[in-house]
Amino acid sequence: MIFKGSRYETTPIVEVTDATGKQVAAIGIRFTPPTPAGFAHTVTDSDRLDLLAYQYYRNPEKFWLIGDANDEIDPTELIRKPGRPILIPPDRGSKG
């Protein structure tokens, strides 16, 4: 269930066929909106996306904002290379 205010709120629900041939509902592709960032954080060995979200937004569940602002498909790739700068966008309100 997608709750009101979720970043997936406007993403369509689509019917797909699973491996057994059964039709199931799935969330469609969420296209990442342009996410300008105002700050660059230099990754350290101890960084985790939830901890960075807490540090910058006081909410660990907003890790997805950091993912949206950067080009990696897998957000965990953002923190694998210490010394790498990653973009930190401003908070976009309550969507989660």
The pLDDT of residue 93 is: 63
Comparing C-alpha atoms, which of 31, 36, 41 is closest to residue 69? 36
Residues 36 and 64 in one domain: yes
Q: What is the CA radius of gyration of the chain?
A: 16
Same domain? 27 vs 57 = no
Q: How confident is the model at residue 79 (pLDDT cuts 50, 70, 90)?
A: very high
How far apart CA 34 and CA 9 sit, in angstroms, is: 17
What's the domain count of the chain?
2
Q: Would the pTM count as exceeding 0.75?
A: no
Same domain? For 39 and 23 the reply is: no
Domain that holds residue 67: 32-96
Q: How far apart are CA 92 and CA 81, in angstroms?
A: 26
Kindly state the average pLDDT of the residues 63-73.
90
